[in-house]
């Protein structure tokens, strides 16, 4: 009987402590927003300027755009779907406005990237 009460007390303490820690921790969305805000303050090139540069390099429809830090550089990253239906990722420096990288994705790579993004979104929730 005493061991059951002790076990119940331990479970209660663990649940209360966990709830307290979870409510005090910043949400993943808040952390991402903070990072994006910091990056946007450092960027000298607007999204619109970078997108125009990216579309000159890889004509098509922009499916996604993201400001990120990659290899110690702040870049605008664009996924552009071309007339053949494949994706070209173009990275434009958010500091200089120059194209830093162009990568053509085949359908398998595109599917793998979508799965990875969905998995990351689930982790953030």
Beta-carbon contacts of residue 91 (< 8 Å; ≥ 6 apart): 70, 75, 76, 77, 78, 99, 100, 101, 102
The neighbour count for residue 28, using CB atoms within 10 Å, is 13
Interval 27-85: pLDDT, tens: 555 566 677 788 888 889 999 999 999 999 999 999 999 999 988 999 999 999 999 88
The answer to whether the Cα torsion of 40, 48, 91, 33 is positive or negative is positive
Q: What is the model's pLDDT at position 13? A: 59
**CATH number 3.10.450.40 given to 43-124:** yes
Mean of pLDDT over the chain: 81
Q: Over 90: is that where the pLDDT of 92 sits?
A: yes
Evaluate whether 98 touches 43 at the Cβ level (below 8 Å): no
Spatial strand order in the sheet of 73-81: 61-70, 73-81, 87-93, 99-105
SS3 content of the chain, % helix, strand, coil (to 5): 55, 25, 20
Q: What is the model's pLDDT at position 21? A: 55
């Amino acid at each position: 009987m005493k061991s059951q009460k002790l076990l119940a007390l331990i479970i209660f303490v663990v649940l209360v402590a966990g709830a307290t820690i979870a409510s005090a921790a910043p949400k993943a969305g808040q952390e991402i927003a903070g990072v994006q805000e910091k990056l946007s303050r450092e960027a000298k090139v607007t999204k619109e300027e970078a997108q125009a540069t990216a579309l000159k390099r890889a004509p098509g429809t922009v499916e996604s755009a993201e400001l990120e830090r990659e290899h110690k550089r702040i870049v605008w990253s664009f996924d552009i779907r071309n007339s053949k239906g494949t994706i070209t990722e173009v990275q434009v420096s958010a500091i200089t406005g120059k194209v830093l990288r162009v990568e053509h994705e085949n359908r398998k790579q595109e599917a793998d990237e979508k799965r990875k993004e969905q998995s990351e979104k689930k982790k953030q929730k």
